[in-house]
Amino acid sequence: MVPVKDRGGDEEMSVEIHDGITVRATRRFDHTPEVVFRAFTEPDLAAAWMWAGLGNDPRAEIDLRVGGRYRVAMSVEGPGSSWPGSERAFRGVYVEIVPDRRLVYTLHWDADVGYNHPCEESIDEAVIVDFEPSRGGTCLVYTHTGLPGGAAPAEEHARGIEASLDLLGALLAERS
């Protein structure tokens, strides 16, 4: 386990890399598990934070049931990526849903994330999100696993997860 970031104070967030293939972030929010769960499962809310504010026109489609599919996409403009097209997306299938407590889903990148290559099939990864009641709010434990081995992909994902959870925190604060 390699700690990537550990913040104290109000934000109470830590991000760790385990075995180079798993990133685990723990963050406390001053919102109930029901509110935080909805941010993961309602399309307009998920689209607002899941790409960490990158790109334009974020959108999400969610079929919230075991075996249901989801897709989160954004538009990008200009050069700078070897990935074909002007859309970046990730998608997957829900494996486990315990309302307001747990989500487990696969994650497949339809975007250049550094270790997959244009026009090649990328591997599916998995995400486990636990929503634990904590002092009137929620302790979120976000585990992203199945990353290709090596420090670079895990470190890049750790930065992306941290940025996404920061944006989620801002979104929840704005809506309260």
Structural domain including 101 reads 2-175
- Beta-carbon contacts of residue 104 (< 8 Å; ≥ 6 apart): 94, 95, 96, 97, 126, 127, 128, 129
Chain centroid to Cα 66, Å, comes to 18
Confidence band, pLDDT 50/70/90 cuts, at residue 92: very high
End-to-end, the C-alpha distance of the chain in Å comes to: 35
Q: Is 24 helix (H, G, I), strand (E, B) or coil?
A: strand
Number of domains within the chain:
1
Residue 123's pLDDT is 72
Residue with tokens 């607002």: 48
Query: CATH code at 76?
Result: 3.30.530.20
Chain centroid to Cα 23, Å, comes to 11
pLDDT digits (tens, 9 = 90+) for 130-163: 999 998 999 999 999 998 767 788 888 899 899 9
